[in-house]
Structure 1
Amino acid sequence: MFAAVEAAELGRRVLVLEKNPKPGGTTNWAIGSLSSSASPMQAAIGIHDTPAAHFEDMALFHGGLLSRDNPELRKAFVENVPDTLRKLLDMGVVFFGPMPEPPHRAPRMHNVLPNSRAYAHALCRRARELGVDIRLNHRAHRLLTENGRVVGVEAVVDGALRRFFARRGVVLAGGDFSANPEMKRIYAGEAISRAGALVETSTGDAHQLALDVGAEIVNGDLVSGPQLRFVPPKINLMTMLPPSRFLALLMKWAMATLPQPIIRPFIMMFLTTVLEPQRKLYESGAILVNTNGTRFADECDKPQFAIPEQPRKEAYIILDSVLAKKFSSWPNYISTAPGVAYAYLPDYRRNRRDIYNVASSLGELAKKIGVPPDSLKKTVADYNQSPREGTPGLLQPPFIALGPVRSWVLTEGGLKVSPTMEVLSKSGGVIPGLYAAGATGQGGIILEGHGHHLGWAFTSGRLAGRAAAQHGAYR
């Protein structure tokens, strides 16, 4: 959507074809942080930070992946993301921070309020102000070409094919391919192909459109994950509220003013992301059981690869009252959580009742989560005969089940692009009229560290929209 806004601000007529019934895609489920140097919020607290420093620090996150990075795209990103942040602020988006995240030398992580849905809300509002034509439920089917140039898109609309022509360019911004098992198998291997996707419509359509006209995917073998994450929260009244600026400013004031015990339950109600249970939970003695009530893997030895083989591809975390007490306060948190830093067991009891179950016996707990009672009782009894080293076993009622948890990946492979987001062919030449942004146009840039994926999505969108708008008209 940022590509559309950027092009429209340059005076171009813009049409957006959105596959889903509403905009936002993966962004709506993101933690919501955006990392940038040279921000107004940094300046307000006396931090002098530069894109050059950000460029250097990003490399410190990469480790063994540094040789896989695209430094030209990293440079384009860090030099342009400050303007991206300022544009979002101008659209009314509210951030809390900046927050530190080593090895960044300065606090750069700006966290959106009230949640990540604020981005799509603000961008769509701005796009409509500029006259952008947004068509929902339009799935791109193939790119239209003339004389080697991309001139439009053929899309499926209400079961029929329709053609849409572009005078200056087509920007592909269709997310990743985490929900496409075949693409994951081809690029990342069999084990990754079985892991699930956070957004089921992230099927790599945009990648495939470009591949069909001679493009190339780079770093296709790289993925974030698989990670065990709780299933998405059910819609509640708070998450249904429009992510308004007034609400965000109220939250920002409260976070800066009120004690954490008062504000954290309120903030937790607005979480739309899916949180990840920490490894320390298993190291302390919690176990994973599948929907048959049986333990299927060593919880500390990559259980995320085993869960896709389980019934319904999900599992539950089982704790007793001793563990419940331990993971109710610092330093033993269940998950990291935006806005409140950490989520403890009481946070789940209050705000994720859909995945929190408690009972005075294992048999009762099994009934609550829909697993065979005798099986769960036997599983826990067997575990207690030889519990994890240094732990007493799961002995003390009441017993708690958190979940289900599922195994998810985000794919990092994107189309090869130039620093102005032109899609490149396998030979390295530009495919005229075609641009890509976000995960679709990741182009080899490594985005380790919080706030870089969203920062890249928005910034590359701006660059792609600008380049397409400034290109000479074909028709």
Structure 2
Amino acid sequence: MTEEQSLSCDVLVIGGGGAGLASAIEARTQGANVLLIEKNPELGGTTAWSIGSFSATQTPHQVTEGIDDSPDEHYEDMPKFSGPLADRDNPALRRIFVDNANDTLRWLMSMGVEFFGPMPEPPHRKPRMHNVLPNSRAYIHHLGKHAKKIGIEIRCNSRANKFLLEDDRVIGARCEMPSGITDVKAKAVVLASGDYAANADLKAKYISPEVAKVDAMNPNATGDGHEMAFPLGAKVLNGDVLSGPTLRFIPPPTESIERMLPPWPLITKVMRFALKYLPGRLLRPFVLGFTTTSMAPELDLFSNGALLVNKNGQRITGDTSKLGLTIASEPEKIGYVLFDSELAARYSAWPHFIATAPGISYAYLDDFRRTRPDIFNKADTVAELADALSMSPDQLNTSIEEHNSVSDVKISTPPFHALGPAKSYVVLTDGGLAVDDEHRLLGGDDQPIPGLFAAGSAGQGGLMLKGHGHHIGWAFTSGRRAGRHAAMEAGINVN
């Protein structure tokens, strides 16, 4: 075996998203020689796809606003987001998260990440949601830059596919790298490979065959790490819990200005100042670009009379709360939301908004006309609207007639409007692998697998993370802790 086909390090980190970068940086800070591998051409993971909010207490932002909050209150409030699933939570990991979230947020700030907030999000009793500026890619930019600065070796286009074992101990991983199959030997390994939202087999196994048909927001969340860990006896907790399926408008053909903004200090500081001090009417055009690009249509649209049709103009019916699942069985998994002028007028002002970004803005129909012309259509007749959507006028007329026969709100007054395509997505899956309170991955008989740790979604361990800002918070918090424990496992004398 040539030198290029064999590598060694103290700590191997599998996955280059938020959890993986946090693990690598913490292990390296403690003195470990760290190699991070990422299967994609660049770092990012689901972190880069996210809204990017981070919920924590006793932060500099809360202190500045005079908000008296505590991890204990955060601990008590988190289960309120989970409803009937609250009893399935992992209280030990929840305690770890709330007790360390503040320090993690400050750690991120120390590397240049800027936040705006805190924003309220009931049932949190106090504002705890901190929105990253200018977007979630800021995490990857700053942590990736810092990782390279402190000497972490990063190899992209490198996929781990099997753990290397010596007796029962994990001593590295076999990886597919551009140079060929490479065995990476390590004294400790951190699995930060994300969730399985894009793995149809795992979704079918743990959730349902119907959900398995639904595409993932992040098509690279393929559950590779889960499948690597199963032969070692690892098990999934809360495998049927997920965010979605949710109906979202397809992304614009080109990225919005908000997503393209670089996270340079001057830009983020100006944004933070503007969000805090400028009148809302001046900021609204900017934040609406985010809201109309990233958010889902409110489901009360349909209970209030909007019609959902598939790409052929056929009416889509069923439980409003399950439309995201229903549409996944339609042609090309897409649909269009139809209004007449009366319903359009209703959704042109508060309190009837089409989409919202929590704590940021609300978007009405005219906002979509201005910011998303690629999904906005308006016509004086049903036939003209059908033509614009490449549908049969007769079929669309039939669908509207069927809708009007059963709905109290008729679609009858021109002009007619359509928003779409909208598509069903699984945002993420919450079925993480079981871990202990030191983030050691558990195998058979719930015993730690020597040499192996897990963080982020891969190491969620039954923790319920409903509510904005908890998944991101856990990714970085668990990542740091896993990296620290991995360094200790590698024989590093940590501080």
Q: Which residue of structure 2 lines up, in the alignment, with residue 96 of structure 1?
A: 116
Q: For 1:350, what is the secondary structure of its paired residue?
A: helix
State the secondary structure of the residue aligned to 1:31.
coil
2:185 to 156, 165, 183: 165
Distance in structure 2 (CA, Å) of the matches to 1:86 and 1:108:
14
8 Å CA contact retained: 1:4, 1:14: yes
Query: In the alignment, what sits opposite 1:190?
Result: 209
Rounded to whole Å, the distance in 2 between the matches of 1:357 and 1:180 is 34
1:175 matched residue in structure 2: 194
Pick from 81, 85, 90 the counterpart of residue 65 of structure 1: 85
Question: Which of 142, 161, 177 matches 1:122?
Answer: 142
Residue 249 of structure 1 is matched in structure 2 by 269
Instruction: Give the residue type in structure 2 aligned to 1:305.
Output: L
- Normalised by the length of structure 2, the TM-score is 0.90
User: Does the 8 Å contact 2:378/2:415 carry over to 1?
Assistant: no
Would you say 1:231 and 2:250 are equivalent positions?
Answer: yes
- Does the alignment pair 1:331 with 2:331? no
Question: Does the 8 A contact of 2:376 with 2:417 survive in 1?
Answer: no
CA distance in 1, matches of 2:58, 2:112: 19
Give secondary structure in 2 for the equivalent of 1:418.
coil
Q: Which structure 2 residue ranges, 5 or more long, are not aligned?
A: 1-20
Match of 1:381 in 2: 401
Aligned to 1:432: 450
Other-structure match for 1:205 = 224
State how far apart, in whole Å, the 2-side matches of 1:171 and 1:66 are. 28
1:41-100 residue CA offsets vs partner (Å, 9 max, x unmatched): 101111122212211121232322222111110111111111110011111111111111
- Please point out which of 310, 319, 339 is paired with 2:339: 319
Q: Does 1:364 align with 2:387?
A: no
> CA deviation digits over 1:282-338, x for unaligned, max 9?
122111111111102136252222111111111111122222222122111111215
What amino acid does structure 2 have at the position aligned with 1:24?
G
Q: Deviations over 1:397-428 (max 9, x none)?
A: 14233323324352110100011111011311
Offset, 1:182: 0.8
Letter in 2 for 1:221: D
Matched, 1:293 2:288: no
Q: What is the alpha-carbon root mean square deviation over aligned residues?
A: 2.0
In 2, Cα distance between the equivalents of 1:392 and 1:174? 48
Task: Select 1:76's aligned residue among 86, 91, 96.
Answer: 96
C-alpha distance in structure 2 between counterparts of 1:433 and 1:99, whole Å: 40
- Aligned with residue 465 of structure 1, among 480, 483, 487: 483
Deviation at 1:246, TM superposition (A): 1.8
- Higher alpha-carbon deviation: 394-403 or 285-294: 394-403
Between 403-412 and 107-116, report the one with greater CA deviation. Answer: 403-412
- Within the candidate set 420, 424, 428, 1:410 is matched to 428
By how many angstroms is 1:7 displaced? Answer: 1.1
Q: 1:305 aligns with which of 288, 307, 325?
A: 325
Q: Which residue of 2 aligns with 1:396?
A: 414
Report the counterpart of residue 4 of structure 2 in structure 1.
none
C-alpha separation in 2, matches of 1:434 and 1:46: 42
C-alpha deviations, 1:110-142, integer Å up to 9, x for none?
111111111111111111111111211111111
What are structure 1's unaligned runs of at least 5 residues?
none
Q: 2:474 aligns with which of 456, 459, 462?
A: 456
Identity across the alignment (%): 46
The structure-2 alpha-carbon separation of the partners of 1:61 and 1:306, relative to structure 1 and needing over 3 Å to count, comes to closer
Between the aligned partners of 1:317 and 1:330, the Cα distance in structure 2 is 19
- Tell me if structure 1 keeps the 8 A contact 2:163–2:172: yes
Letter in 1 for 2:411: G
- Say yes or no: does 1:50 pair with 2:59: no
CA shift in 2, pair 1:15/1:97, >3 Å? same
Conservation of the 8 A alpha-carbon contact between 2:336 and 2:418: no
- For residues 39 and 424 of structure 1, what CA distance do their matches in structure 2 show? 33
Alpha-carbon offset, residue 467 of structure 1: 0.7
Look up the equivalent residue of 1:454 and give its one-letter code: I
Aligned 8 A contact 1:251 1:267 in 2: no
For residue 420 of structure 1, the aligned residue among 421, 428, 438 is 438
Q: For residues 182 and 291 of structure 1, what CA distance do their matches in structure 2 show?
A: 27
Between the aligned partners of 1:322 and 1:308, the Cα distance in structure 2 is 29
Could you tell me how far 1:272 is from its partner in structure 2? Answer: 9.5
Deviations 1:233-287 (A, max 9, x none): 3333623332322222222212222222221112333569731111121122111
| Equivalent pair of 1:285/1:394 in contact (CA under 8 Å) | no
CA contact (8 A) 2:378 2:418 kept: yes
Equivalent pairs counted in the alignment come to 471
Which residue of 1 is the match for residue 16 of structure 2? none
* Change in CA separation of 1:370 and 1:163 when aligned onto 2, cut-off 3 Å: farther
Task: Give, in whole Å, the separation in 2 of the partners of 1:358 and 1:351.
Answer: 15
Please point out which of 256, 259, 266 is paired with 2:286.
266
Contact 2:174–2:182 (Cα < 8 Å) also in 1 = yes
Counterpart code for 1:437: A
Residue type at the aligned position of 2:225: A
Given residue 194 of structure 2, which amino acid in structure 1 is its aligned partner? G
Give the secondary-structure state (helix, strand or coil) at the position aligned to 2:302: helix
Partner of 1:446: 464
Q: 2:291 touches 2:356 (CA, 8 Å); kept in 1?
A: no
Could you say if the C-alpha distance between residues 301 and 36 of structure 1 is closer, same or farther in structure 2, counting changes exceeding 3 Å? closer
* Residue 387 to residue 322, structure 1, CA distance change in 2 (3 Å): farther
Asked whether the equivalents of residues 292 and 371 of structure 2 are also in contact (C-alpha less than 8 Å), the reply is no
User: Residues 157 and 367 of structure 1: is their aligned pair in 2 closer, same or farther, counting only changes over 3 Å?
Assistant: farther
Distance 2:189 2:370 in 1: 46
Quick one: distance in 2 between partners of 1:371 and 1:404?
16
Shift of the 328–271 alpha-carbon distance from structure 1 to 2, 3 Å rule, reads closer
Scaled by the length of structure 1, what TM-score is found?
0.94
Residue of structure 1 equivalent to 2:6: none
Instruction: Tell me the amino acid that sits aligned with residue 99 of structure 1.
Output: M
- Would the aligned equivalents of 1:115 and 1:272 in 2 still touch at CA under 8 Å? no
Q: Secondary structure at the match of 2:175?
A: strand
Distance 1:339 1:246, change over 3 A: farther
Query: Which digits, 9 at most, give the CA deviation of each residue in 1:335-354, with x for residues without a partner?
Result: 12156332222332222233
Counterpart code for 2:438: T
